[in-house]
Amino acid sequence: MCFTGTLTERHGDRVERIPVPSRLADWFIANGLDVVACSEADLDRARELREAVHVCGTAAARGEPLPPEAREVINMASINGSASALLTTEGGLGWQLGPGGPVAGALGVVALSAIGIISGARDGRLALCASPTCRAAFFDTSRSRTRKWCDMNTCGNREKKARFLANRRSAGGSSRDT
Ligand SMILES: [Zn+2]
């Protein structure tokens, strides 16, 4: 689900975190998916899947039916991906990306993860970011299930700062009135 976070501020000044194919490869590597290189076409497919996950995740978080086209994109990525789940030496979850090509395999893993979350098969709460300029769907696995922002470092911090400034302004205003 954190793949949808590679595009933030969807309702404000959009921030694209995978602007070029090499950044997509970086994202895969950082997430334990062994993809050495990506093409422009891979990037297009990845972004299409990302937006489909965003659309379906948003619908699911609102309790609305999933838009069929977006659902189809996720399902096709899952079908085309041929990755095998492995146990790593540390006993964690790893992936061997199959003969369909590493990028197809990696996108299949992303689709599988999204399906687990959107279907409710995985333990957590699907929610929408409280920031009005973001509204990203995110997966809340905190113990209390009360997370408000997709990312504490971006949306959470900005929101805190805005509230602080608003409080200071209203405090200043009232002191002028008295
Ligand atoms: Zn957000």
The ranges assigned to domains in the chain are 2-177
Residues 6+ apart with CB under 8 A from 58: 128, 135, 137
The SS3 assignment for 87 reads strand
The total number of residues written for the chain in this structure: 178
So what's the pLDDT on residue 176? 47
Instruction: Give the Å distance between the CA of 138 and the centre of ligand 1.
Output: 8
How far, CA to CA in Å, does 118 sit from each of 28, 65, 125, 167, 172?
A: 21, 11, 9, 37, 46
Q: Identify which of 141, 157, 155 has the alpha carbon closest to the alpha carbon of residue 1.
A: 141
Q: Tell me, what amino acid is at 53?
A: V
- Beta-ladder partners of 84: 96
Is the pTM higher than 0.75? The answer reads: yes
So what's the pLDDT on residue 6? 75
How many whole angstroms separate alpha carbon 95 and alpha carbon 90? 13
Instruction: Give the Å distance between the CA of 125 and the centre of ligand 1.
Output: 15
So what's the pLDDT on residue 167? 85
Instruction: Give the Å distance between the CA of 7 and the centre of ligand 1.
Output: 10
Instruction: Give the Å distance between the CA of 83 and the centre of ligand 1.
Output: 30
CB 114 within 8 A of CB 57: yes
pLDDT, one tens digit per residue, over 97-154 is 977 889 999 999 999 999 999 998 888 999 999 988 888 888 898 899 999 998 888 8
Regarding the domain delimited by 2-177, which CATH topology (the fold level of the hierarchy) does it fall under?
A: Jann2411-like fold (1.10.3300)
Instruction: Give the Å distance between the CA of 53 and the centre of ligand 1.
Output: 15
Instruction: Give the Å distance between the CA of 175 and the centre of ligand 1.
Output: 34
